[in-house]
Amino acid sequence: MDALPNLNELGSDYSSPDGSSAMNIRAVGYELVVFVTQWGLMLFGFGVLTKFIAPLNLVSPSMFLGLYFDAAVKGLFALVLSVTWLFVWDRQVRLYFHRRGK
């Protein structure tokens, strides 16, 4: 069984040719773009939910349990947005940690 890594020591799977521990600027830029895109999509989704979806009556409130069904439909829409955000995050993690050629 492998030992747990010590977080107090510097360590990485990348060593630069000159032996320094400088970060790869392209990788940092890529991570920044993905991070900003993910948060942008999430905030956009919250905006769509609050401005457009929440005020709508998707199911007639006069029906038996109509308000509950209306809330459930809106919750399903929020769930779809969350799953989409998690899919983007999963693709980013797979690309970053499971790169080809390792």
Q: What is the pLDDT of residue 74?
A: 87
Within-domain flag for 86: yes
Cα–Cα dist 8/4, whole Å: 12
Within-domain flag for 8: no
- CA 12, 15, 20, 23 torsion-angle sign: negative
Within-domain flag for 58: yes
Q: What is the pLDDT of residue 16?
A: 57
User: What is the number of domains present in the chain?
Assistant: 1
Cα–Cα dist 87/93, whole Å: 10
Q: What is the pLDDT of residue 32?
A: 85
The whole-model pTM stands at 0.54
DSSP 74: H
Q: What is the pLDDT of residue 77?
A: 87
C-alpha distance from residue 67 to each of 58, 76, 80 (Å): 9, 14, 20
39 three-class SS: helix
Q: For every one of its 102 residues, what pLDDT tens digit does the chain have, with 9 covering 90 and above? A: 456 556 566 555 555 566 555 667 877 888 888 788 888 888 888 888 888 888 888 888 888 888 888 888 888 988 888 888 888 778 777 777 666 555
Tokens (6 digits) for 95:
């690309």
Contact 46, 52 (CB under 8 A): no
Cα–Cα dist 24/101, whole Å: 17
Terminal alpha carbon distance of the chain: 21
Q: What is the pLDDT of residue 97?
A: 67
Instruction: Determine the structural domain holding residue 63 and report its residue range.
Output: 25-97
